């Protein structure tokens, strides 16, 4: 409630600036950007990876941005697990990410794992083609692949899903589990 009220007031102030003879802020964020709040319960072992993965997605996206939240306003829960990484998406921008230590013990990069699983939260499916430049290729790219940035096609697909300020496409496979 507080965040939406704050955004509304900030938007109103930006609109009023020209009326006061002041220039509007040129780099103001568009009002149709969807903010996806996440609650990072994963713990310190994953905190750097979560921060970097979120930064990578935020740098690549125009229509959606991740922001840290808490249990009261988050639609994404990030948890550590002892198993293989997986995601249980509910719809684009919502679900649970399980960051699995099993993949780390096999040599996979924590940040790539995290960014890949967040890709599922944003509506992307796995693409097991082995291409390291494609984030959603997951573990098929091998343990030497540390690329944790979405490719241009992946970023464009997510921007399309979130065009207009909200997830325009709801996953038809809500029960699908994305596995790294």
The two tokens of residue 38 are 């996440």
Query: Any alpha helices (H) in 65-167, and if so which ranges?
Result: 101-105, 110-121, 152-161
Q: Which among 79, 102, 106, 117 is annotated as catalytic?
A: 117
pLDDT over 80 (residue 152): yes
pLDDT at 43: 79
67, 37 in Cβ contact below 8 A? Answer: yes
pLDDT over 60 (residue 170): no
pLDDT > 70: percent of the chain = 74
Determine how many CB atoms are found less than 10 A away from the CB of residue 170.
12
CA angle 93, 98, 101 (to 5 degrees): 145
pLDDT at 55: 98
117 is known as an active-site residue: yes
- Which of 29-38, 41-50, 73-82, 89-98 is least confident? 29-38
Residue range 142-155: mean pLDDT, rounded:
98
């Amino acid at each position: 409630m507080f965040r939406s009220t704050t955004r509304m007031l900030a938007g109103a102030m930006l609109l009023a600036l020209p009326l006061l003879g002041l220039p509007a802020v040129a780099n103001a964020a568009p009002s149709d950007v969807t903010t996806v709040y996440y609650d990072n319960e994963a713990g310190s072992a994953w905190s750097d990876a979560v921060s970097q993965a979120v930064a990578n997605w935020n740098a690549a996206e125009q229509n959606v941005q991740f922001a840290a939240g808490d249990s009261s306003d988050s639609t994404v829960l990030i948890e550590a697990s002892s198993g293989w990484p997986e995601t249980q998406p509910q719809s684009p921008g919502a679900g649970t990410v399980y960051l699995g230590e099993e993949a780390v013990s096999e040599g996979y990069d924590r940040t790539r794992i995290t960014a890949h699983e967040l890709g599922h939260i944003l509506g992307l499916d796995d693409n097991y083609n082995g291409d390291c430049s494609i984030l959603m290729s997951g573990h098929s790219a091998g343990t030497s692949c540390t690329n944790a940035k979405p490719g241009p096609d992946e970023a464009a697909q997510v921007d399309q899903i979130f065009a207009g300020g909200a997830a325009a496409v709801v996953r038809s496979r809500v029960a699908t589990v994305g596995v790294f």
